[in-house]
Structure 1
Amino acid sequence: MNRWLSQHRAAFGLALRRLGATPFNTLLSLLAIGIALTLPAFGYVALDNLRNLGGSASGVQQISVFMDVGASREAVADTEKRLRALSTARITFVSRDEALKRLQTSEGMAEIVASLPRNPLPDAFIVEPANLDPDALEVLRKELAGWPRVAHVQLDSAWVKRFDAFLRLGKLALLMLAGLFGAGLIAVTFNTIRLQVMAQAAEIEVARMIGATDGFIRRPFLYFGALQGALGGLIAAGLVAGALRLLNGPVGELAALYGGDFALRLPAVPEIAALAGIGAVLGWVGAQLSVGLSLRRFD
């Protein structure tokens, strides 16, 4: 076990030395890998922010339940009790008097409301479900519409479905983009490792003559590819975070113009670690392919 660990430690140290031996070339390779990972990573964070924006938009995740105008207090209380039993939803009660006051404060409505002989507005409940799936919202809407003394249940399901379809399309485009740039990252690593193997062909021949196994020869190159991919992933995370910081100001100003308060979410630590891990895996794959092909040529 100690021998195995020492071999991997030596291979890891050799990979680090190779990275530092040609700093300019290493920097160019890391930038190429970082840029290849930046676009998919930025797309992922942008979709996540868009999902949060859609979820916080007014009315997107709300179901309005309007009672009959003549519903008694007991009927309203019974409906509220049944709604409170929905543990996955947050309930807000809006009485008819409160609704009338809100209407009076609207521009140009004060005189109209004052001329009404009686309050025509019903009691209402605002339901904010935890599950925002369009199909689940539609099922909940139909269930609430069948309750007694409920006159109307309002849900802009068409808007929600369109938004959900747009997000699915964005995810599909992001997967295709990630696959394309992932292949590019593998190609960059493949070419870098191939050049290293060619430069050290004589050393590899001597090592094989004195009994070095293919695994022993391959190991430093695999660590080199994984390290290069992981560092490129960290560069990509930095580029994404920097771009989002630059966009945060204009996005906040735009949200303020619409009476909202929204800030772009920066990549979290687990997401940065995942990006570095993905880069390491892709770099390892590229190194594995390159070294395997090169060793076959030596044979």
Structure 2
Amino acid sequence: MSLYRHWDALGSSLRHLVTHPVGSLMTLSVLAIALALPAGLYVLLHNAGNLLSAWEEQAQVSLFLKDEVSTAEAQALRAEIARLPGIREVKYVDKEAARQEFKQLSGFGDALDALEDNPLPASLVVGIDPTHYRPQQIQALVQRWSEDPRVDTAQYDLDWVARLQAMLDLAERAVSILAVLLAVGVVLIVGNTIRLNIMNRREEIAVAKLVGASNSFVRLPFLYHGFIQGALAGALAWATVVIGIALLQDPTAHLANLYGAIFRLRYLSPEQGGALVLGGALLGWLGSALAAQRHLRAIQ
């Protein structure tokens, strides 16, 4: 098939989109929504994952030591833990340092000074590399340390992060299923659009076949039509996601600021946006190919 035929088919497809603006815009809008929904959810989940990673980087375990544990015993335990893989640092906080920190942070310094004895225990603050351990492994470490005879209580403050991560994993699986279902929907929508175009041009196609045109020759403009329609829908979906993230940017920054953090939502990267456009184009091509193959054979 000559290059001229491809250019002619491409031009025919573009002319059809331009000469039917209302119908084309409605179809593109539906396709764009179907593509933008999973893409937008993916971006939000990706941003949530980045936020969780930032929180997990602060993962610490506090080991409160028993009163009878000496400084030498505490330092020995500190050295044992520091030798474990994935441990970033182990900080020893003696009773007096704990007292001073509590006075600074709590505002109850006078009440603490009124006590004859320092009620605060010495502790070890263990910084854990979250990329080395999964949440279940961290829980196992905390359990093991809590059973040490020198440790009174082991406290891990990021249990909720592990639960939220599990929820995000579930949400990612749900978004993947939704993306597959909507991709099937895109194929069906494009296929139905191509079917209607074929029915509207039934007589023209029949005449072309009478003068020797093959099914592949007749099918080419419809393939281009579906491909272009899918690509335009992908580009529109990309723009929709960008606008949606931009509208959420300021409220998200304000919410993060209330918690003393700085966080900005990330947009789709150029590679991801290009993949969305290409994915829409391929889905459009697939829908048009299936519809053309089925309905062109029925026209004699």
TM-score by length of 2: 0.81
Question: What percent identity do the matched residue pairs reach?
Answer: 34
Counterpart of 2:61 in structure 1 is 64
Is it true that 1:291 corresponds to 2:292 in the alignment? yes
How far off its partner does 1:237 sit? 1.5
Q: What is the deviation of 1:228?
A: 0.9
Work out the CA distance in 2 between the residues paired with 1:211 and 1:298. 13
Of stretches 289-298 and 123-132 in structure 1, the one that deviates more from structure 2 is: 123-132
Q: CA deviation at 1:287?
A: 0.8
Q: Which amino acid aligns with 1:223?
A: Y
**CA distance, structure 2, for counterparts of residue 148 and residue 210 of structure 1:** 94
Distance 1:282 1:111 in 2: 70
Shift of 1:186: 2.2
How much has 1:225 moved relative to structure 2? Answer: 0.9
- 1:33 corresponds to: 31
Return the alpha-carbon distance in structure 1 between the equivalents of residues 126 and 244 of structure 2.
41
Answer whether contact 2:215 2:297 (CA < 8 A) is retained.
no
CA distance in 2: counterparts of 1:219 and 1:70, whole angstroms: 84
Q: Name the SS of the counterpart of 1:183 in structure 2.
A: helix
2:123 aligned counterpart, secondary structure: coil
2:209 — aligned with what?
208
- Report the residue type matching 2:46 in the other structure: D
Q: In the TM superposition, what are the counterparts of 1:36-185 in structure 2 within 5 Å?
A: 36-57=34-55, 62-66=59-63, 68=65, 69-72=69-72, 75=76, 78-79=79-80, 81-83=82-84, 85-86=85-86, 90-91=88-89, 93=91, 95-96=93-94, 99-115=98-114, 117-118=117-118, 120-131=121-132, 133-141=134-142, 153-156=154-157, 158-185=159-186
- Contact 2:39/2:241 (<8 A) preserved: yes
Secondary structure of the residue aligned to 1:66 is: strand
1:178 Cα shift? 2.5
TM-score (norm 1): 0.81
Contact kept in structure 2, 1:137 and 1:157, CA below 8 Å: no
Which shifted more, 127-136 or 238-247? Answer: 127-136
2:277 aligned partner, one-letter code: A
**Structure 2 letter corresponding to 1:193:** I
| Two-structure CA RMSD over aligned residues (Å) | 3.2
The 1:132/1:202 distance shift into structure 2, 3 A limit, reads farther
Instruction: Please tell me whether the aligned partners of residues 226 and 280 of structure 1 are also in contact (alpha carbons under 8 angstroms).
Output: yes
Measured in 2, the distance between the counterparts of 1:276 and 1:144 equals: 52
Kindly indicate whether the alpha-carbon contact (under 8 Å) linking 2:61 and 2:157 is maintained by their aligned counterparts in 1: no
The Cα of 1:164 is off from its aligned counterpart by 2.9
The one-letter amino acid of 1:33's match is L
Instruction: Summarize the Cα distance change of 1:260–1:5 in structure 2 as closer, same or farther, 3 Å threshold.
Output: same
Task: Tell me the CA shift for residue 6 of structure 1.
Answer: 5.2
Please tell me whether the aligned partners of residues 12 and 221 of structure 2 are also in contact (alpha carbons under 8 angstroms). Answer: yes
Question: What letter matches 1:284 in structure 2?
Answer: W
Contact residue 134 and residue 164 of structure 1 kept, 8 A: no
Name the aligned partner's letter for residue 235 of structure 2: L
Partner of 1:241: 242
- Would you say how many aligned residue pairs link Structure 1 and Structure 2? 293
Tell me the CA shift for residue 255 of structure 1: 2.1
Separation in 2 of the partners of 1:16 and 1:174?
Answer: 33
| Cα deviation digits, residues 139-178 of structure 1 (max 9, x gap) | 4545666889666543357524432332233224323433
The CA distance in 1 between the partners of 2:260 and 2:144, in whole Å, is: 33
User: Does the 8 Å contact 1:221/1:287 carry over to 2?
Assistant: yes
Q: Work out the CA distance in 2 between the residues paired with 1:4 and 1:151.
A: 82
1:264 corresponds to: 265
CA distance in 1, matches of 2:244, 2:63: 45
- Partner secondary structure for residue 159 of structure 1: helix
Amino acid at match of 2:38: P
- Contact 1:93–1:125 (CA<8 Å) still a contact in 2? yes
Kindly indicate whether the alpha-carbon contact (under 8 Å) linking 2:75 and 2:92 is maintained by their aligned counterparts in 1: no
User: Gapped runs of 5+ residues in structure 1?
Assistant: none
